[in-house]
């Protein structure tokens, strides 16, 4: 995909390069998220470092800053250890990172720690934090991020690279299209669709469909 890695150096990115337990490999982080550091460790991943544009040598929760994305992509790492977790909140950033790292020969890992019911689909590179909830028939797309306290109810669907911020609620049969952002404490009422790249403001109550690219806020959201 041409240009998929463009303009990444000025963005606040977060990438954890991880290794499953009992294997020996390096690990890196770009633009820190303490929540994801602790989530990854709680799921048994060993994190050894951070990939970021911040000063090399700084540490976040015991993880040193080692370099940027180009540095990691240039390392000679065994193929079985070339795994990354992509954790920035911005949907477009996660999209660009997933493209860049997969083209660079890395596998993009998903982290799932919340309550996930039966018959749920969760795509590669996605993150479901703890506590959060994905109910029966839910779909969480590739590279999506479901933050702490979010609640995705039965048969609701979030597409690739969607961000669901903390404590947001998506009620039954809600559909959220690719790269949309659902703000903290927002509520999407049943059967509502949120279009590609749309933004729902924090605390909004969405009672009608949101067109692609539109930003809505308030109660009811407009």
State whether 176 and 206 are in the same domain: yes
State the burial class of residue 55 (Cβ atoms within 10 Å of its Cβ: 0-12, 13-18, 19+): exposed
State whether 97 and 117 are in the same domain: no
Lowest mean pLDDT among 67-76, 94-103, 179-188: 67-76
For residue 3, pLDDT beyond 50: no
- Report residue 28's pLDDT band, with 50, 70 and 90 as the boundaries: low
- The whole-number pLDDT of residue 91 equals 97
Contact 183, 199 (CB under 8 A): yes
State whether 93 and 146 are in the same domain: no
State whether 20 and 102 are in the same domain: yes
- The whole-number pLDDT of residue 216 equals 98
Within-domain flag for 218 = no
Query: What proportion of the chain, given as a percentage, has pLDDT over 70?
Result: 85
Contact 39, 129 (CB under 8 A): yes
Within-domain flag for 192 = yes
Instruction: Domain of residue 68: give its range.
Output: 15-108
Where is the domain boundary, 108, 128, 147? 108
For residue 84, pLDDT beyond 90: no
State whether 95 and 177 are in the same domain: no
For residue 185, pLDDT beyond 90: yes
Q: Give φ, ψ of 66 to 5 degrees.
A: -115, -20
Within-domain flag for 103 = yes
Q: How far apart are the first and last CA of the chain?
A: 35
- The whole-number pLDDT of residue 133 equals 96
State whether 27 and 70 are in the same domain: yes
Structural domain count of the chain? 2
Lowest mean pLDDT among 49-53, 106-110, 166-170: 49-53
Within-domain flag for 10 = no
State whether 29 and 104 are in the same domain: yes
DSSP 210: B
Where is the domain boundary, 87, 108, 129? 108
Contact 65, 54 (CB under 8 A): yes
Residues in CB range of 37: below 8 A, 6 or more apart: 16, 29, 47, 60, 61, 63
Within-domain flag for 20 = yes
Q: What is the CATH number of the domain that holds 84?
A: 3.40.50.20
State whether 138 and 101 are in the same domain: no
How high does pLDDT run on average in the chain? Answer: 85
- The whole-number pLDDT of residue 100 equals 94
Cβ contacts of 30-35, under 8 Å, gap ≥ 24: 30/68, 30/69, 31/88, 32/60, 33/87, 33/88, 34/60, 34/61, 35/129, 35/148
For residue 47, pLDDT beyond 80: no
- Report residue 32's pLDDT band, with 50, 70 and 90 as the boundaries: low
State whether 191 and 121 are in the same domain: yes
**pTM, whole model, 2 decimals?**
0.85
State whether 129 and 83 are in the same domain: no
State the burial class of residue 35 (Cβ atoms within 10 Å of its Cβ: 0-12, 13-18, 19+): middle
State whether 90 and 132 are in the same domain: no
Within-domain flag for 220 = no
Within-domain flag for 221 = no
Where is the domain boundary, 108, 137, 167? 108
């Amino acid at each position: 995909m041409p240009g998929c890695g463009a303009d990444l150096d000025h963005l606040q990115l977060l990438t954890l390069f991880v290794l499953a337990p009992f294997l020996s490999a390096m690990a890196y982080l770009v633009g820190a998220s303490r929540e994801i550091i602790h989530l990854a460790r709680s799921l048994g991943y060993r994190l050894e470092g951070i990939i970021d544009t911040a000063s090399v040598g700084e540490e976040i929760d015991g993880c040193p800053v080692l370099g940027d994305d180009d540095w990691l992509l240039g390392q000679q790492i065994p193929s079985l250890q070339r795994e990354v977790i992509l954790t920035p909140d911005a949907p477009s950033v996660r999209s660009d990172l997933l493209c860049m790292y997969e083209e660079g020969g890395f596998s993009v890992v998903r982290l799932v720690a919340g309550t996930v019911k039966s018959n749920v689909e969760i795509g590669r590179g996605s993150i479901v934090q703890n506590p959060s909830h994905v109910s029966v028939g839910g779909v969480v797309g590739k590279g999506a991020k479901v933050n702490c306290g979010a609640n995705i109810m039965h048969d609701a669907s979030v597409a690739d690279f969607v961000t669901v911020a903390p404590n947001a609620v998506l009620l039954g049969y809600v559909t959220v299209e690719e790269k949309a952002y659902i703000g903290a404490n927002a509520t999407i009422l049943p059967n509502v669709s949120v279009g590609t790249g749309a933004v729902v403001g924090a605390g909004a109550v969405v009672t009608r469909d949101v067109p692609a690219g539109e930003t809505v806020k308030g109660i009811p959201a407009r």
